[in-house]
Amino acid sequence: MKVGIVSLGCAKNLVDSESIAYLFQDNNVDIVNDIEEADIILVNTCGFIEASKKESIDTIFEMIKYHKILIVSGCLVERYKEELIKEIPEVDLFISIKDYPHFADLLNEVLKTKQFKGEISNNKRVISTQPYTAYLKISEGCNNCCTYCAIPLIRGHFRSFEEKDLLDQAKNLASRGVKELVVISQDTTRYGEDLKNTNIISLLTKLLEIKEFEYIRLLYLYPDEISDELIDLIGKNPSLTPYFDVPVQHASSSVLKRMNRRGNEIFLKDLFKKIRNKVPNAILRTTLIVGFAGETEEDFKILEDFVKEVRFDHLGAFTYSPEDGTVGAKLPNQVPERIKKQRYQKIMKLQQKISYENNQKRIGKTSDGLIVGFDDEKNAYLVRCGFNAPDEIDGNIYCYSENKYNLGDKIYFEVVDADNYDLYGKIITL
């Protein structure tokens, strides 16, 4: 028996897919990349915003065409299981997130077998990323209850995973050749608040003792949970990439209040100023939502001025999508789609200029990084370092060399050119 797994959405969902893959593999089912070879197709869906829901639905219908046993899991199922069962009867089994503890039993039921045993666990995964990089999911759920976000409805309240289990996972990954560990959760900075005798500082300090990791990267840092201690730890440890992924969503105090976000414009500006003062080589990344309910022209002007002042290295933006079951969807003064798109285009045009200017300042500077691919069209190696995150959420770094390198090799390079989002370098020997 063979299974093909299609994982949609974020890296946290990918970790779930890797755990599901292990359950199949542990029960003597081969994991295949070619869907046509599979006896079973599993689609692990995303249901975060309207675009991701559409992608999940489109993927399900695409998989139906293969006429295989079709199983659909993940966030979309958690939100709309009953509707999906009714509307897409071609799917053999829908498994919601809260059903994951019974995954094996549900498989046995639909496949009419007693073959499957075991549980889904983050400690047991089939790593689907390149062998030199892997994710470490340190918690599940979220307590922030932002009014635009359905994650607490989907994933539940915030739960930290035990520190010992995470360290065991990390050591196992290191023994398998992982050089880049990417630490993720819905709210990474909050780790350990529901446990005794640990927090994000404690966890990172112990992860730094695993010397096989060349790089440890943190993603999804909630602004008001970023302590001076965390900033200092990142600044003093070269293995911790100085990459601050801090989704602020907005800068206007009135919009932030309606979003149920803590902090305000002054606090956010001071935070990023502090980070840059303490960590001069810091890379700042954020995400924004434009067109949230009640966002006025004045609110948007505050956001524009904020972006101009902070000058993020990387910035992503979304137009607000009202989500079922969220407070934001019920708020008055919803912004017309036309205005949302206009504001999105203005923000991204502004960021394009800032990104270009920031990149130009990198010309002549050197850095280290990992070889993560080769671009045949440009005849250059693709490199990831402290400037850019996995999964192509940032610009690319293209590096040229006449020497041959393998995926995962650590190299040093000098930036020789730059455009709006991408950097170009030559690999050097120090």
Q: What is the CATH number of domain 366-428?
A: 2.40.50.140
pLDDT reading at 391 higher than 90? no
Chain region(s) in the chain for CATH 3.80.30.20: 133-360
**Could you name the CATH architecture of 133-360?**
Alpha-Beta Horseshoe (3.80)
Q: What is the average per-residue pLDDT within 365-379?
A: 96
Contacts of 337 (CB under 8 A, 6+ apart): 291, 319
pLDDT in tens, 244-275: 999 999 999 999 999 999 989 999 999 999 99
Interatomic CA distance for residues 68 and 347, integer angstroms = 44
Least confident of 58-62, 247-251, 426-430: 426-430
Contact present, 156 and 192 (Cβ < 8 Å) = no
pLDDT reading at 430 higher than 80? no
pLDDT band at 301 (very low <50, low <70, confident <90, very high): very high
Q: What is the average per-residue pLDDT within 390-396?
A: 88
Amino acid at residue number 320: Y
CATH 3.30.470.20 given to domain 2-111: no
Rg of the chain over CA atoms, in angstroms? 22
Chain region(s) in the chain for CATH 2.40.50.140: 366-428
Mean pLDDT of the chain: 95
Amino acid at residue number 150: A
Q: What is the pLDDT of residue 122?
A: 85
pLDDT in tens, 209-247: 999 999 999 999 999 999 999 999 999 999 999 999 999
